[in-house]
A = this chain, B = another copy of it.
Amino acid sequence: MADTPDIRERVVERAKRCHAAARFLAYSTTDQRNRALLRAAELLRERTADLLAANAVDMDRGAEKGLSSAMLDRLKLSDKRIEEMAVACEEVAALDDPIGDVLEEWTRPNGLRIQKVRVPLGVVGIIFESRPNVTIDAASLCLKAGNACLLRGGSEAISSNIALAAIMAEACRDAGLPDGTVEILDFTDREAVGVMSRLDEYLSLIVPRGGAGLVRAVSENASVPVLKHERGLTQMYIDETCDLAMAVSLVHNAKVQRPGVCNAVENLFVHEGNVPALQAVVTDLQEAGVEIRGDLRTCELNSGCVCATDEDFDTEYLDLILAVRVVESMDEALDLIARHSSGLTEAIITDNEENAERFLREVDSACVYWNASTRFTDGGQFGFGAEIGISTAKIHARGPMAVRELTIYKYVCRGDGQVRT
């Protein structure tokens, strides 16, 4: 596929600036990077009026284009939202700096001393959709980890994103960090996404943040590694015996607290010996307005359920709908979980420790839980301080990704004349 030369040139120009900056950023000091983050917080507060003016341009354009009120709300900046961004920068500054950590060290029989040292990735591309705060979140996490970043936001938020990225860039300059530390594509041509994803000469990694369509657009024909969150078909299993009230509370939280996210439960399997739990959970969920799509047994044992199709157990509803199935054994549950899993989050509810440990061992997902809500699959909830995204990949990083997941290592080897024989 041929790129339009002009678009390609403009993307490459910015990627090159990032690449040049990354060389120096890699050995910038913790203090420099934190000063840039704190300066960004200051500038966000000082420039609130300018940011609101830039955002007004996006809002007017959005209203003209007939964006939904939900979309316009996501797009809108306010004093409060700008203050939240400033606080987020301060929080990232307060996180531990992972760069330079010695992960391991050893000495070879010939006396060569080897250290495995944590270093930045280089240049990280972030491609995201409408909410402008991602500009600040993404840039601040990349900066904390010593990476330059090339940002590409949604076209609806272009004025806001440019203004926010300019603040990050100015803060970096004020802290003595190189130009190119934070770059943004200041034009909206769709083709730029494809161009970015093929610049493996300059970019180490791309993290797409958005829906399935965005992720596909970024991944297709990418030569840069893409760490993506493809889908989150979260599943729970209620074992033969468990604390009944706990089962109700955990499934309720996993389904109802925020149904539109990747760690909300979509499939529930219940051991046939635990009808009381099945009935208590279903009743509770129905009272909360959840539609239950059950297999035959579930529908027999509970009123008001809809008959589930095969497809239901492969559907990420992101809504107040739950697919429920009764199983004869934990083996059957494990088979079903393996068959339908997206590899992100699964949980067992049981008071049987042996079964719990078997589940935790045998289920291959980024996050597996025993007696806890699946909603904890989140960088903040894990204590990572912030989150750049959730990965359903199997290499580099799995599950919640934060600062450390934006790093890699190098081997530093000190000798006194060793040669290979």
Contact = CB atoms under 8 A, between A and B. Distances in A.
Q: How large is the interface on A (under 10, 10 to 19, 20 to 34, 35 or more residues)?
A: 35 or more
A396 to B, nearest CB: 4
Interface string A40-62: 00000000000000000000000
A26 B371 CA distance: 23
Chain A binding surface, main DSSP class: mixed
Interface in A358-379: 360-362, 364-373, 375-376
Given A27-B362, A395-B408, A419 B253 contact: yes
Nearest to A383: B108
A414 B359 CA distance: 11
A420 B366 contact: no
Contact of A243 (B250, B393, B396, B417): B417
Identical subunits present: 2
A369 B418 CA distance: 10
Interface string A376-387: 100001110000
A220 to B, nearest CB: 8
Interface in A250-267: 250, 252-253, 257
Nearest to A204: B394
A371 B250 contact: no
A146 to B, nearest CB: 10
Contacts of A205: 394-395
A252 to B, nearest CB: 8
A412 B347 CA distance: 10
A249 interface: yes
A338 interface: yes
A278 to B, nearest CB: 18
Given A223-B219, A381-B108, A396-B396, A413 B23 contact: no
A372 B417 contact: yes
